[in-house]
Structure 1
Amino acid sequence: MKKILVTGGCGYIGSHTIVDLVQHGYEVISIDNNSRSSSRILEGVERIVGKSIKNYKVDLCNYDDTYAVIQENADLAGIIHFAAYKSVGESVEQPLLYFENNLLSLINLLKCVDEFKIPHFVFSSSCTVYGNPDIIPVTEETPPKPAESPYGYTKQMGEQIVSETIKHSVSTAILLRYFNPVGAHPSGLIGELPVGKPQNLVPAITQTAIGKIQQLTVFGTDYPTRDGSCVRDFIHVCDLAHAHTLALDYLISLKNFSPCEVYNLGTGNGVTVLEAIHAFERVSGQKLNYQLGPRRAGDVVAIYANNDKARDFLGWEANFSLDEMMKTAWQWEQNIRSDEDFYATQKGELN
């Protein structure tokens, strides 16, 4: 079994990716300092896969601690790097926090990749690297425009740091540009668990539906879209997770045509914020209490993916429908509302 390190393994996408990796024959360890996640998520992972997952509670911004973990696991076949702060709105308010955390952690990790000659590296990037594109859907060749937020800039710079490092390395890398991950594992055992007020649409929807949030605000109704709200490409987190397994398979099989490659991960379907709300109402049978508000700083008007490259080279495809995304997200929300410890985690009371 090839050993893979997942950074941010207690997080939303990281935890689902651990499940997919284990189910496809990989041994997995995790690094997560739980500053923005709950270690209890790994309990759900372990129930799904039927085995324990070791997590190192380490801050990747601390080079010595990061080095010690990699040294202890020098037989790693690859690293998938998720650990980063990800709130667009918070990054606008606290840009230095995002530049320091997201970039320093990446640099420390790449130093270890170079030192221990870790063969393969997969970087969690984002469609925010495209900024406000002139033409959609975007392909991997779409020229990046200025990012709309410091978070987006950390992904643009992160991609550049990885690609420049790999040019002078024995390692290979893949940059995966996510669109909008939503939903939860069909078991209902793991899902998105924001600490504090959610910054992403779907957990804000489900928390409003269940009564944790009094009212949802739709930010912007005067965009040049079919109903005035932003357009996004929502992708189920399990589809997204599987892409990371395929990316590792691809690199390990030496199928890559260059040392560092980039792939879009989206369904290719643009959905407006209001359409997403109506899909949730349809699936859940809940009438959502929402209001129409002004635009929010950092939001891109409209973006969705051309995913031909991921399909042709990685053999990846998105299988979950929008209704299934909403259904699994709602199931997860109902499950955690019945668990007092998870509820406390969302209030920031637990690690």
Structure 2
Amino acid sequence: MNVLLTGGAGYIGTHTAVELLQAGHEVVVVDSLVNSHEEALRRVERITGRTLTFHRADCTDPEAMRAVFDRHDIDAVIHLAGLKAVGESVQQPLRYYRNNLNALLTLCETMDAAGVRDLVLSSSATVYGDPDRMPITEDTRLSTTNPYGSSKLFSEQILDDLATSDPRWNIISLRYFNPIGAHASGLIGEDPQGVPNNLFPYIAQVASGRRERLSVFGDDYDTPDGTGVRDYLHVVDLANGHLAAVDHLADAPGHRVYNLGTGQGTSVMEGLRAFERATGSPIPYEVVGRRPGDIAVCYADPSAAARDLGWKAVLTIDDACRDGWRWQSANPGGFAG
């Protein structure tokens, strides 16, 4: 199968490209390189021993996207491209709405014109906002708390309406939780630009000496150790979730949604201790006040993905910390270094 992977040079995109290539698919990557590096794609080819095709283009550019579809016989699309920093989205809501929604609209219009109607969307657990029950199932009430999450929820609504209007579309949206870790080779991993927005890249940079200490935002939540609990998912498991979705697109027409998570929560302190086990050294931290908008507990019920897609997470938090530390140690300056 020829798979178009938008945002394929990014963190999740590169790991997904590896799994697609190793499964025998052909991969065409479209990426603007705004938050990624072309070197990451060369590393993908090194890991797999296979080549991919890369187009530096923006998914919001109709002419550029038409050129990609004119050049390649695409069978299915995995749409990962988009702006993704929650905090930044609060400061720049119009930029996030314009970019993320326009990219999806342009992509779908181009796909439809080319007769390609198999699509996997990168959605997010942020569509659940502050959930009213645990674990989170796909029918949990949807209520976002930031523009990034809203852009994902609006994207899902667009795809609902598209699939309703034309039954030829096969669409799966993957609502995934907190991807962490790196490929076991140490050749690709998360390479945040500037100050990391997520917990584990920050821990890794503290462990490597790039930052002084980790700030733990609150230790007075109603959780076993007082720190926030999240569902941390190894990025390779997540990549395989996209592969499973592509393989099951034809099972049922319309738009389906699935949670991708481990089904269990890990607290900030548990994550910190797991990373210390990976490094063999203590990691300095300080407890500070809660961040506005943070919730106490959030973890998935991934049973629908297991039932319908044959997918489940198999890698552990210790696997993720080991692989993440291998990546950080071998690439202290990221891909640019």
TM normalised by structure 1 equals 0.93
Asked if 1:287 is matched to 2:285, the reply is no
Opposite residue 39 of structure 1, the aligned amino acid is: E
Asked if 1:160 is matched to 2:157, the reply is yes
Which residue of 1 is the match for residue 141 of structure 2?
143
- The 5-angstrom pairing of residues 151-230 of structure 1 reads 151-169=148-166, 170-230=168-228
* Aligned CA distance change for structure 1 residues 106 and 300 (closer, same or farther; 3 Å): farther
Q: How far apart, CA to CA, are the structure 2 residues paired with 1:31 and 1:297?
A: 35
- Deviation track 1:127-155 (CA, whole Å, cap 9, x = no partner) reads 1111111110011111212x121111111
| Percentage of pairs with the same residue | 43
**Bigger mean CA deviation after superposition, 297-306 or 19-28:** 297-306
State the 1:283 CA deviation.
Answer: 2.3
Contact 1:132 1:301 in 2 (8 A): no
Opposite residue 312 of structure 1, the aligned amino acid is: R
State the 1:343 CA deviation.
Answer: 4.9
Which residue of 1 is the match for residue 335 of structure 2?
342
Contact 2:37 2:336 in 1 (8 A): no
Q: How far apart, CA to CA, are the structure 2 residues paired with 1:286 and 1:106?
A: 44
- Deviation track 1:252-311 (CA, whole Å, cap 9, x = no partner) reads xx322x411111000001111111111111222121111112222343332101111111
SS at 2:13 equivalent: helix
Which residue of 2 is the match for residue 349 of structure 1?
none
Instruction: Supply the RMSD in Å over aligned alpha carbons.
Output: 1.3
Name which of 125, 131, 134 aligns with 1:133.
Answer: 131
Which residue of 2 is the match for residue 124 of structure 1?
122
- Deviation track 1:135-177 (CA, whole Å, cap 9, x = no partner) reads 10011111212x1211111111111111211222322100000
Runs of 4+ that moved beyond 4 A: none
Contact 1:132 1:302 in 2 (8 A): no
Q: How far apart, CA to CA, are the structure 2 residues paired with 1:236 and 1:301?
A: 21
**Bigger mean CA deviation after superposition, 212-221 or 181-190:** 212-221
Contact 2:207 2:279 in 1 (8 A): no
Q: How far apart, CA to CA, are the structure 2 residues paired with 1:210 and 1:185?
A: 18
TM normalised by structure 2 equals 0.96
State the 1:341 CA deviation.
Answer: 7.2
* Aligned CA distance change for structure 1 residues 300 and 57 (closer, same or farther; 3 Å): farther
Q: How far apart, CA to CA, are the structure 2 residues paired with 1:318 and 1:307?
A: 9
Q: How far apart, CA to CA, are the structure 2 residues paired with 1:90 and 1:289?
A: 26
Q: How far apart, CA to CA, are the structure 2 residues paired with 1:92 and 1:341?
A: 27
Q: How far apart, CA to CA, are the structure 2 residues paired with 1:166 and 1:294?
A: 44
Q: How far apart, CA to CA, are the structure 1 residues paired with 2:124 and 2:146?
A: 12
Name which of 249, 252, 272 aligns with 1:277.
Answer: 272
SS at 1:134 equivalent: coil
SS at 1:175 equivalent: strand
Contact 2:40 2:335 in 1 (8 A): no
Asked if 1:37 is matched to 2:33, the reply is no
Name which of 249, 255, 259 aligns with 2:251.
Answer: 255
Asked if 1:321 is matched to 2:316, the reply is yes
**Bigger mean CA deviation after superposition, 297-306 or 95-104:** 297-306
Contact 1:89 1:298 in 2 (8 A): no
Name which of 308, 329, 332 aligns with 2:327.
Answer: 332
Q: How far apart, CA to CA, are the structure 1 residues paired with 2:198 and 2:190?
A: 10
Gaps of 5+ in 1: 345-351
Which residue of 2 is the match for residue 348 of structure 1?
none
Q: How far apart, CA to CA, are the structure 1 residues paired with 2:165 and 2:141?
A: 24
Which residue of 2 is the match for residue 70 of structure 1?
69
Q: How far apart, CA to CA, are the structure 2 residues paired with 1:298 and 1:5?
A: 35
Q: How far apart, CA to CA, are the structure 2 residues paired with 1:295 and 1:155?
A: 25
Name which of 77, 83, 86 aligns with 1:85.
Answer: 83
State the 1:227 CA deviation.
Answer: 2.1
Q: How far apart, CA to CA, are the structure 1 residues paired with 2:53 and 2:194?
A: 26
Which residue of 2 is the match for residue 110 of structure 1?
108
Q: How far apart, CA to CA, are the structure 2 residues paired with 1:36 and 1:221?
A: 32
Contact 1:138 1:303 in 2 (8 A): yes
Contact 1:234 1:271 in 2 (8 A): yes
